[in-house]
Amino acid sequence: MRVPVVLSIHLTVVPMSPKAIRVVALVIAALLLGAFLLYQFGFLAKESPESIAAAPPPNPGGATNAIPVKAQLIRSLELTDFITVSGSTLPAEEVMVSSEVPGKVKEILFREGDVVKKGASLIHLDDDELMAQRNRLEVQARLNEKIAERLKALYEKEGVSLQELEIAEAEYQKALSELTLLDAQLEKRVIRAPFSGRLGLRLISEG
């Protein structure tokens, strides 16, 4: 909408010095420039026909027109960057597992790439002969224990001498010591994992 602006300036001609004339002229010029700028860009700016045509028609019901709004749910996600590179890796610990004693491989209890815990059984060597010896020693140890107990009861009744009792008890302790030694040999027939980790290549076979 165009609003006419009427600027009325009354000048009274009075004798003035040249300096005063210059000041008045500058003030008048500033006022004219300010009025022009207000008219073009300020509160007095006119509405163009294009803006009037583009304006939405008034709502007969008096309600304001709804503006469509698109909503998006914001979620917090973890961003992970992946980089593909070529290379090789080395284990922090590596050991070649072998047996302390020679023998034939009876059973292999692992597969290449298995993850095992420390102390897990990996290989059983043939221990049939040692197990037979252990069974005989176990029977002999139980027999020697009974003999020593019987002689102890007789000794308390003065039925046998102290020497006979000591010999029987010594035979029993000897059988127990041999059993302990044989159990240690049997333990060496089992190859175990020295620490937890992933197994590598298997370089042996059964037999």
The predicted-structure confidence for 159-199, as pLDDT tens digits, reads as follows 888 888 889 899 999 999 999 999 988 888 888 888 887 87
Q: Which whole number is the average pLDDT over 117-130?
A: 84
Q: What is the pLDDT of residue 188?
A: 87
Q: Does residue 78 fall inside a structural domain?
A: no
Task: Let me know whether 111 and 188 are in one domain.
Answer: yes
Q: What is the pLDDT of residue 22?
A: 77
Q: What is the pLDDT of residue 144?
A: 92
How confident is the prediction for the chain on average, in pLDDT?
A: 75
Q: How many domains does the chain have?
A: 2
Question: 33, 53, 73: which is the final residue of a domain?
Answer: 53
Q: Does residue 89 fall inside a structural domain?
A: no
Q: Does residue 84 fall inside a structural domain?
A: no
Between 49 and 108, name the one with better pLDDT.
108
Task: Let me know whether 37 and 112 are in one domain.
Answer: no
Spatial neighbors of 197 by CB under 8 A, at least 6 apart, are: 91, 93, 115, 116
Q: Does residue 182 fall inside a structural domain?
A: yes
Between 135 and 124, name the one with better pLDDT.
135
Task: Let me know whether 121 and 191 are in one domain.
Answer: yes
Question: 23, 38, 53: which is the final residue of a domain?
Answer: 53
Q: What is the pLDDT of residue 49?
A: 52
Domain of 31 in residue numbering reads as 1-53
pLDDT of 7 over the 60 cut: no
pLDDT of 1 over the 50 cut: no
Question: 30, 53, 76: which is the final residue of a domain?
Answer: 53
Q: What is the pLDDT of residue 48?
A: 53
Q: Does residue 113 fall inside a structural domain?
A: yes
Task: Let me know whether 109 and 193 are in one domain.
Answer: yes
pLDDT of 87 over the 80 cut: no
Q: What is the pLDDT of residue 105?
A: 83
Q: Does residue 37 fall inside a structural domain?
A: yes
Give φ, ψ of 105 to 5 degrees. -75, 120
What letters, b where the CB count within 10 A reaches 16 and e where it falls short, cover 16-33? eeeeeeeeeeeeeeeeee
